[in-house]
Amino acid sequence: MLQTLESEVGSGRTEFEIGEYMTRLTADIISRTEFDSSYEKGKQIFHLLNVLQNLCAQASRHLCLPGSRFFPSKYNREIKSLKSEVERLLMEIIQSRKDCVEIGRSSSYGNDLLGMLLNEMQKQKKLGNGFSLNLQLIMDECKTFFFAGHETTALLLTWTVMLLASNPSWQDKVRAQIKQVCNGEPPSVDHLPKLTLLNMVINESLRLYPPASVLPRMAFEDIKLGDLHIPKGLSIWIPVLAIHHSEELWGKDANEFNPERFASKSYIPGRFIPFAAGPRNCVGQAFAMMEAKTILAMLISQFSFTISDNYRHAPVIVLTIKPKYGVQVCLKPIEE
């Protein structure tokens, strides 16, 4: 991606809609990481999940009667068809892995994310544990990794570039630290924890533009939450966007870009929901954060960027928070 940008800047182009580049890059990364040799089929699955996401988002803008999701309407048939096609493609990949192991062509299901899940499922079966992964859970996890490693990461990168382009002093601070820590080398796993300023900027970007504006959860058992009794089966919606912009929690500058708040000793982690709550998403979140830090560090090292005059600030919610008209930035190579 960086070579493409460098080539286009060299040919005279200065303005770029950075979201397009981030979307293609993260799709490429998660396709190879999750499906490895089934990369092309992975891209097909991601396209279908994007269409399905946009359809599902329409439901939140319409009044729904109880039980209406079971009506054989065109909308419901389309959602059902897309869901079936996604699961059919996933099952093809899974069955292909299983066949290779069963006929002895391979000793494992692979070392990509899907392979790790299948290997764990086989291990749990041999141990005879009470809870074990099944194929439906594995398919659900593959979809979760899509959103954690592709959709939300692309949006995090896009919004962060917009904020740094609008705040050049912070861009300069982050670039200086990257140069000091990485010393001209591509960022490694050892470098990432030392990029504290970049981490503060990413957290502030996630606070202002959380990829998920709400988190729906269902209670699997009766629980007590403060003075509230939450019965089993109740659907709970956590208003992430409202929490992240609460003046009571963040102060009078709650709507302003201020990464310093994440360096403060008064910062309370419980105020902040970076990607999604719940242990099942922890691996996806860790992977997404490493991915985002690496990409941003490399981009900031090679280019300085400013907001284009053509940029129109219009965040919209389509399950995730997206820039309606994209994010146009002007890129300039960093002179060594």
How many C-beta atoms lie closer than 10 Å to residue 111's C-beta? Answer: 10
C-alpha closest to that of 139 among 186, 78, 104, 92: 92
Is residue 298 a contact partner of residue 3, using CB atoms and an 8 Å limit?
no
C-alpha closest to that of 79 among 53, 44, 41, 61: 53
How far is it, in rounded angstroms, from Cα 282 to Cα 328?
32
To the question of whether residue 282 is assigned a binding role by annotation, the answer is yes
Question: In one letter, which amino acid is 146?
Answer: F
- Give helix 18-35 / helix 135-146 axis angle, nearest 10°: 150
Long-range contacts of 189-198 (CB under 8 A, 24+ apart): 189/290, 191/297, 192/290, 192/293, 192/294, 192/297, 195/293, 195/297, 196/263, 197/170, 197/173, 197/259, 198/174, 198/293, 198/296, 198/297, 198/300
B/e letters for 161-180, b = 16+ CB within 10 Å, e = fewer, are bbbbbbbeebbebbbebbee
**H/E stretch holding 306:** strand 303-307
How far is it, in rounded angstroms, from Cα 237 to Cα 219?
11
Q: Helix (H, G, I), strand (E, B), or coil: what is residue 316? A: strand
Q: Helix (H, G, I), strand (E, B), or coil: what is residue 110? A: coil
The residues with which 113 forms a beta bridge, in sequence order, are none
Which residues belong to the annotated binding site? 282
Which residues belong to the annotated binding site for heme? 282
